[in-house]
Amino acid sequence: MDKSSKKAILALEDGFIFRGRSFGAEGEAFGEIVFNTSLMGYQEILTDPSYKGQMVCMTYPLIGNYGVNKEDVESSRPFVEGFIVKEVSRISSNWRSNEDLGSYLKKNNIVGIEGIDTRRLTKHLREEGAKKGVISTKDMNEDNLVKRAKESPGLEGRDLIKEVMCKSAYDWNSSGKYRVVAVDSGIKYNILRNLAARDCHVRVVPATASKNEILSFKPHGFFLSNGPGDPAALPYIVDTVKSLLGELPIFGICLGHQILGQAFGGKTFKLKFGHHGGNQPVQDLTTRCVHITAQNHGFAVDVDSIPDKSVVLTHVNLNDRTCEGMEHKKIPVFSVQYHPEAAPGPHDASHHFDKFVEMIKENTR
């Protein structure tokens, strides 16, 4: 630990206090605290727009040892509210590295704290659930910080996608054969790379796009992206998706999966501490195979609440048995709760992109 670093405090809404030292930007950051179990991929995690409104605690103890580069970002900038690690490496040992992690966070005004017991924090979140919190290098009054953490906004009921989505439509891989409209609720670049690698010309549109705006591209397929916040706070997207069911093949990932669940008439609910990391076991109920998946979400679909019995459960999480995938048996629509594009994480589930393109091919014959 760099002894010259400024002191910092992490305070949780339930009174848990951790004292450490700051890295990155100085100041204050508020958000729901979650833990991520990935051993690497911190740059992709930082730039995943799904983390808007949250502060991430990394369970792996040493973070930052391979620095930061310009190629591994998953969006235009970091979206985490704050970053929590046991120890940050001041040495960036990788030929691709452009700068160290602390400098990168400082440049992007992200507050970080190191030198705390991240195992204790993770255990607490597992037992008590995700908590609102604050990281501060300015206010050192513990009671005041706990009070301010309690008063800060949580995730439930919040629409955060308007803070992370694109402001206007743009094209990705305009030479692709299959036209796909991707609704940007906080889309990751590697999703777009995976679609482009399968000969898709992707038109990325804001999450507020209307049915007419989507269909004006004359798409062969429709994609629903990941994103932050409470899926129950997005009735405008749910209504748009509902109006498109049966019109063309649809594939949803993460928040897109949750939006589809609501478009089918179902409900979503908040998980105790969510699924965040690259080592989440999911079983495909059709093949009985188990895939190790990358995940980042705090809400889930209550598949039993969906009245349309043509919608079937296809994948389950082996840790808590929650819904990880579903499919409609009469129209070409399916979704998964996890991230088949990885970045970071395993590639076990990348075949879902192949399935989507095969649906498109079948629908265009």
pLDDT score recorded for residue 3: 54
Total count of residues recorded for the chain: 365
| Among 151, 181, 197, residue at a domain's last position | 151
* CATH number where 241 lies: 3.40.50.880
Cβ-based neighbour number of residue 232 at 10 Å = 18
To the query of whether residue 166 is one of the catalytic residues in this protein, the response is no
The catalytically annotated residue of 201, 297, 341, 352 is 341
pLDDT score recorded for residue 270: 97
pLDDT score recorded for residue 1: 46
User: Domain for residue 2, yes or no?
Assistant: no
Whether pTM exceeds 0.85: yes
The catalytically annotated residue of 124, 257, 291, 339 is 339
Contact assessment for residue 362 and residue 333, using Cβ atoms and an 8 Å cutoff: no
Contact assessment for residue 140 and residue 7, using Cβ atoms and an 8 Å cutoff: yes
Same domain, 166 and 120: no
| Among 110, 127, 151, residue at a domain's last position | 151
To the query of whether residue 341 is one of the catalytic residues in this protein, the response is yes
- Of 311, 249, 211, 254, nearest to 51 (Cα)? 254
The catalytically annotated residue of 254, 257, 275, 324 is 254
> How many separate domains does the chain show?
2
From residue 348, give the alpha-carbon distance in Å to each of 188, 191, 251, 351.
18, 15, 18, 8
User: Domain for residue 325, yes or no?
Assistant: yes
- Would you give the end-to-end CA distance of the chain in angstroms? 61
User: For 195, what's the count of Cα atoms within 13 Å in the CB-facing half-sphere?
Assistant: 34
Q: Phi/psi class of residue 31: alpha, beta or left (left: φ > 0; alpha: ψ in -120 to 50)?
A: left
User: Domain for residue 127, yes or no?
Assistant: yes
Same domain, 211 and 329: yes
Same domain, 210 and 328: yes
Domain containing 134 equals: 7-151
Chunked mean pLDDT (size 10), the chain, 365 residues: 77 98 97 97 97 98 96 96 97 94 97 98 97 97 98 96 97 96 98 98 98 97 98 98 97 98 98 96 97 97 97 98 98 98 93 97 88
pLDDT score recorded for residue 2: 54
pLDDT score recorded for residue 5: 75
Identity (one letter) of the amino acid at 332?
Answer: P
User: Domain for residue 156, yes or no?
Assistant: no
27 burial type by CB count under 10 A (0-12 exposed, 13-18 middle, 19+ buried): middle
Same domain, 114 and 31: yes
Same domain, 41 and 140: yes
Distance of CA 305 to the CA centre of its chain: 24
pLDDT score recorded for residue 4: 58
Spatial separation of the C-alpha atoms in residues 19 and 135, rounded to whole Å: 10
Same domain, 272 and 225: yes
Same domain, 184 and 308: yes
Same domain, 94 and 169: no
* CATH number where 102 lies: 3.50.30.20
User: Domain for residue 312, yes or no?
Assistant: yes
| Among 121, 151, 181, residue at a domain's last position | 151
Same domain, 317 and 169: yes
Same domain, 290 and 337: yes
Spatial separation of the C-alpha atoms in residues 62 and 218, rounded to whole Å: 48
Same domain, 126 and 244: no
User: Domain for residue 308, yes or no?
Assistant: yes
User: Domain for residue 329, yes or no?
Assistant: yes
Same domain, 25 and 98: yes
* Four-CA torsion 206, 207, 212, 213, nearest 10 degrees: 10
- Of 43, 46, 35, nearest to 81 (Cα)? 46
User: Domain for residue 232, yes or no?
Assistant: yes
To the query of whether residue 247 is one of the catalytic residues in this protein, the response is no
